[in-house]
Amino acid sequence: MNREELITSIYSKKSLLCIGLDTDLKKIPPMLLKEADPIFSFNKAIIDATKDLATAYKINFAFYEALGSKGFESLEKTIDYIPKDLFSIADAKRSDIGNTSKMYAKSIFEHLNFDAVTLSPYMGRDAFDPFLSYKNKHVILLAHTSNNSSSEIQNQKLSNGAFVFEHVIEHYKNPSNTMFVVGATIPSSSQKKIRSICKESFLLVPGIGAQGGNLSDVLLHLAQPKPYVLINSSRQIIYASQKEDFTKAAHLEAEKLVKEMRTHINF
């Protein structure tokens, strides 16, 4: 999916919602554990219940890789099941150089056919150039993340007075194929600064819901003047219930977020 198609999808659905499929066997409804592939059965049900509201789905590789070959099989079936008119993100946070990076790109963009992948920028451009060689694919560089210790590196100042996260965005911004991870929990002043640096770039914003990020602030500071934002919610939606009504509960949580988006954004 190229940038224009993603923008069209956002305006058509009037939604910035990205749903994170961080699927944990210990948290899914117990009745699914009798299924041949509980992870995929859960993901399939969540996708069916929310695909009318979501613009994107994000698959966190750690939850699948931890289960070995069976987990990777669940991942493959999940990415194949996501509708092709929805944006798909491999939350893999890869970073390496040379042939290793080429193989990561081949796996994620050719074998699995994701639209985008999260990457760490701290090894420099040659760590993600192989990903950028793919037409209509996107890299999402970690810029200012929502974890507690992110400031240990990202908020350090360079000799020119800029923060590291500002340098990453300024140095690598390319709206056609490069996005940035910006946490919903970071200060509003940082959100405003980021949007001023990259007015046309898409931002992937985790941290809404379970992590405590404020959706209204994100919409005010990062989704203006254009709604070039994918707002991720994982646990709040997919684990809204562990009972037989889990799909209904997931839909209601997704709908609640999308309705709030629509009150702030003029799609």
Q: How is 160-193 classified by DSSP, letter by letter?
A: TS-BHHHHHHHHH--TTTEEEEE-TTS-HHHHHH
Contact 34, 252 (CB under 8 A): no
Q: Can 93 be counted among the known catalytic residues?
A: yes
The identity of residue 14, as a single letter, is K
Burial of 36 (C-beta count, 10 Å sphere; 0-12/13-18/19+): exposed
Neighbours of 111 (CB within 10 A): 10
Closest of 191, 12, 253, 22 to residue 118, by C-alpha: 22
Q: What is the dihedral of CA 123, 59, 146, 161, to 10 degrees?
A: 30
Contact 81, 47 (CB under 8 A): yes
Please tell me whether residue 28 adopts helix, strand or coil conformation: coil
The identity of residue 22, as a single letter, is D
Q: Which of 93, 102, 106, 173 is catalytic?
A: 93
Residues known to be catalytic: 93
